[in-house]
Structure 1
């Protein structure tokens, strides 16, 4: 039984409709595969044509949730909104590596924040919680490695060592960053009430399908997460 991640009750009060799909992948015995290189481009084209019909409503829900914990969504929007804005401006986003391209494509196609993490770098379970302001966050600014701290009251993803993603899903840290296919990987697809339930399932299916192509023979454990569980 995979009994993570944990969603603290304080987060449930901020976004009671929060629900997500958690996907743990063990690729230690997997072979090397590949996916269609056009998957990211196709998702960008879909956004340029308008994207899913619920996209604007879902982004508005995330902006409201950010406002509830004191973030300014126009300055630090959720990850899905940030990706969409780049595509709307430039028509595309650059390729990074196959696994990041895959989960960015899922995010764009379904207007949903998607995070990918190196689970072998975690200490303890992933936890969605409200910061007290003392938690360390490893990041890079202007090419220099630094340690930041979240604002008190900020929604964060964290483990037993510190913050892994600030402002819910706005910026990932360097310690648990996923930069290759291999080992144990963890993904989280996060939604609010304005995204249809069946589309959340489809987003999870797209990600799982792509991961099986990238890492044939990998073991995948998928389960639902909800606020208040």
Structure 2
């Protein structure tokens, strides 16, 4: 179990199992690798982005409850399709959007940016440290034997997903449970992260253009022109699985 040597390796090996596409043929995953990040604490730029996301959420929720927002509603239906109860385990987009009006967390610049972009573009968006991966990311329906490194009551524990649960995993175990609900401790971003993998999850009614716009916004804030930061991306969709097709810089 070794970390892929290059961003191209990681993206080329990424895949979504056909059993997941059978649940939601409209699903797309846009994977973005960002390399050369300079670790930084929250700053004025990330604060402004978070404030904009909070204001956007307030405006959205003034018109309808969070569970009726189009992309949130689609993800709640996807959770029910594999047996999860969305009112108990909320997808990351719903959880952040619910929290935003009262204030999003301030963690560090990297985390602040991707949380804000998730709310602003209404897309589930996860970020993980690429150096902590063991093999490429794969979205599968769990057997129930896969280890999931998490915490309970302040202590580290290893849990296992339910049989048939949709999970992201690598060669060492689950990296995110219930599609986009809870990330493992092993691969999570930290204050010293310099290379990251971001996963943007889309269902109808989110268009391909809207998904690409969210990725562009993320990259613009993490890799501004002249920064020396490099990015790569790949979209996984039905008919475009493992094999490296579509990896772009």
Cα distance, 1:32–1:155 mapped onto 2, change above 3 Å? closer
Shift of 1:214: 11
The more displaced of 124-133 and 12-21 is 12-21
Instruction: Select which of 9, 27, 30 maps to 1:18.
Output: 27
Instruction: Select which of 89, 93, 112 maps to 1:101.
Output: 112
Looking at structure 2, the residues matched to 199 and 211 of structure 1 have their Cα atoms a distance apart, in angstroms, of 19
Looking at structure 2, the residues matched to 24 and 209 of structure 1 have their Cα atoms a distance apart, in angstroms, of 13
Corresponding residue for 1:225?
Answer: 236
Corresponding residue for 2:75?
Answer: 62
Say whether residues 1:82 and 2:95 are aligned partners.
Answer: yes
Shift of 1:227: 3.3
TM-score, normalization: structure 2? 0.84
Cα distance, 1:215–1:172 mapped onto 2, change above 3 Å? farther
Corresponding residue for 1:43?
Answer: 53
Structure 1: tracts of 5 or more residues without a match:
none
* Count of aligned pairs: 225
Give a deviation string over 1:40-75, Cα, whole Å, max 9, x none.
11111111011799x811111111110010000111
Structure 2: tracts of 5 or more residues without a match:
1-7, 241-249
Looking at structure 2, the residues matched to 23 and 103 of structure 1 have their Cα atoms a distance apart, in angstroms, of 12
Where do 4+ consecutive residues of structure 1 move more than 6 Å? 32-35
Matches of residues 127-166 of structure 1 in structure 2 within 5 Å? 127-166=138-177
Shift of 1:181: 5.6
TM-score, normalization: structure 1? 0.91
Give a deviation string over 1:1-56, Cα, whole Å, max 9, x none.
541421011101111101121111221xx556766121111111111011799x81
Cα distance, 1:185–1:67 mapped onto 2, change above 3 Å? same
Cα distance, 1:31–1:106 mapped onto 2, change above 3 Å? closer
Matches of residues 194-213 of structure 1 in structure 2 within 5 Å? 194-213=205-224
Corresponding residue for 1:169?
Answer: 180
Shift of 1:128: 0.4
Looking at structure 2, the residues matched to 23 and 65 of structure 1 have their Cα atoms a distance apart, in angstroms, of 23
